[in-house]
Amino acid sequence: MAAMNLLSLAPKSETRKVLVSDFDGTLWSHDYYLLFTDRYGGPQTLQAWHDYRRGEITHFEAMRRIYAAAAPGEESLRTLLHDHGLGPHVREGAERLQAHGWSLVVVSAGSLWYIEQLLAEAGIEAEVHSNPGSVIDGRLCLRRPEGTPYPSHQNGIDKGAVVRVWQERGCTVAFSGDGYPDVEPARLVPPELRFARGYLAEELTMLNESFLPFQHWGEVCDHLTRPVSRGA
């Protein structure tokens, strides 16, 4: 099979439009921690999530405990990952973004360990902010990012800070997400550039905040690259 051409959406000095996007459940239609829990998890993985939802531990600590609960081995972890690729709509959407001058910044409370693999497999280059991870003794071990300009005790990465930095640079910033850590960054962008599904959509609805719903990430790309209709 021929190698896929690299599609670069990483921001450059001339960048004026930026899509800041969550990864699990948003750009990727799956959540790696759920795939992991379904195949290898037990009561201890579910307990970590419940502890987080009760406010007893941070989101980062919940993810760390979930992945530390089982040691399936690196080969099995990679197989689980590559059994659920990004899908063609992600590459196609990224191509449309690039053609219309959009850059892509991925922000995730998950892990660089699988995000970088999936993006590379799809031939997509983006700026990514997430928690480092490595496989040690068969376990995926998460670490807090060191030296990041966007630290968060709760999630590892402060997604809202990423959005604010690009706004302060004078860029048009859109945000897409689906989860608990996505509420604050979503509320920083205008409703017409705010894309939500899952928990994020439910929370924004409760807050009486407008947003654009989506089912898969390609729809976000469709909207951002749709020709603007102009009145007479």
73 and 185 both lie in a single domain: no
pLDDT band at 2 (very low <50, low <70, confident <90, very high): very low
Residue 218 lies in a domain: yes
* pLDDT average, residue stretch 182-196: 98
Q: Which domain holds residue 39?
A: 33-82
Dump pLDDT digits (tens) for 117-142.
999 999 999 999 999 999 999 999 99
Q: What pLDDT, on the 0 to 100 scale, is given for residue 231? A: 43
Q: What pLDDT, on the 0 to 100 scale, is given for residue 24? A: 97
pLDDT band at 46 (very low <50, low <70, confident <90, very high): confident
Q: What pLDDT, on the 0 to 100 scale, is given for residue 45? A: 79
130 and 187 both lie in a single domain: yes
Q: What pLDDT, on the 0 to 100 scale, is given for residue 157? A: 98
CA–CA dist 49, 43 (Å, integer): 10
CATH number at residue 126: 3.40.50.1000
Residue 1 lies in a domain: no
98 and 53 both lie in a single domain: no
Residue 231 lies in a domain: no
The alpha-carbon radius of gyration of the chain (Å, integer) is 18
* 143 neighbors 162 (Cβ within 8 angstroms): no
Q: What pLDDT, on the 0 to 100 scale, is given for residue 228? A: 62
Residue 72 lies in a domain: yes
* pLDDT average, residue stretch 66-71: 94
* pLDDT average, residue stretch 163-180: 97
Residue 154 lies in a domain: yes
Residue 60 lies in a domain: yes
pLDDT band at 227 (very low <50, low <70, confident <90, very high): confident
103 and 168 both lie in a single domain: yes
62 and 118 both lie in a single domain: no
Give the total number of structural domains in the chain. Answer: 2
CA–CA dist 70, 202 (Å, integer): 32
170 and 117 both lie in a single domain: yes
CB atoms within 10 A of CB 112: 21
Dump pLDDT digits (tens) for 29-43.
999 999 999 999 877
Instruction: For residue 93, give the nearest of 122, 136, 67 by alpha carbon.
Output: 122
pLDDT > 70: what percent of the chain?
96
165 and 146 both lie in a single domain: yes
The set of residues, in sequence order, having a beta carbon less than 8 Å from that of 81 and lying 6+ positions away, is 32, 35, 114, 117, 118
